[in-house]
Amino acid sequence: MSATAPIVTVNGRPVSLREVPGDERLLDTLRWRLGLRGTKEGCRSGECGACTVLVDGAARLSCLSLSRDLEGTTVTTVEAVGDDPLGRTVQEAFAEEGALQCGYCTPGFVMALTGALRERGRSATSAELTADLAGNLCRCTGYASIVRAVERARSRSR
């Protein structure tokens, strides 16, 4: 191991990975080491999207990412996404459209949509963005309010 500890920036704060085992998932580092419980644990197999975070601005499943592999990157969780104007726009759209019944999946949807809007830019269509959220599952809503939130966030981010 090098003389300096590997570092990842989480929500604007440098975090040492020195004590993190090589096989620890980012999901566990965030929730149990850093106390960032907004990132939800759903399936632990990449099937539900509840654990979505942004890594260097792109949506990524934290249950499938090893913390040590993220050395030198910037991770944003739902706790800090509102500090970004685009993330705040997405959060507001979800709240205004009531796209959060129990709320368990909401952080993953917010993070995935924020990442998709950032990646696709102003030309994104609602259909493209909705397709980008296909890996995020909700067991409470009929998805209609989530689709409305996608359209609201898309129109406001232009």
Each residue's pLDDT tens digit, 104-130: 999 999 999 999 999 999 899 999 999
- Based on the fold, state whether residues 44 and 107 are members of the same structural domain: no
* Residue 120 to residues 5, 84, 116, 151, Cα–Cα distance (Å): 34, 17, 6, 14
User: Domain of 88?
Assistant: 81-156
Cα angle 92, 89, 53 (rounded to 5 degrees) comes to 95
Question: How confident is residue 3, by pLDDT bands cut at 50, 70 and 90?
Answer: low
Pairing label, strands 74-76, 7-10: parallel
How many domains does the chain fold into? 2
Report d(CA 155, CA 40) in Å as an integer.
28
126 inside domain: yes
For residue range 46-94, list pLDDT tens digits in order: 999 999 999 999 999 999 999 999 999 999 999 999 999 999 999 999 9
Lowest mean pLDDT among 31-35, 81-85, 103-107, 154-158: 154-158
CATH of the domain at 143: 1.10.150.120
Residues 75 and 96 in one domain: no
Q: Are residues 104 and 137 in the same domain?
A: yes
Owner of token pair 């599952």: 137
The pLDDT assigned to 19 comes to 94
Q: In sequence order, what are the beta bridge partners of 33?
A: none
Model confidence at 4: pLDDT above 90: no
Instruction: Determine, yes or no, domain membership for 2.
Output: no
pLDDT, residue 117, reads 97
Does 17 reside within a domain?
yes
Report the distance separating Cα 45 and Cα 48, nearest Å: 8
pLDDT at 144 exceeding the cut of 50: yes
Same domain, yes or no: 12 and 63: yes
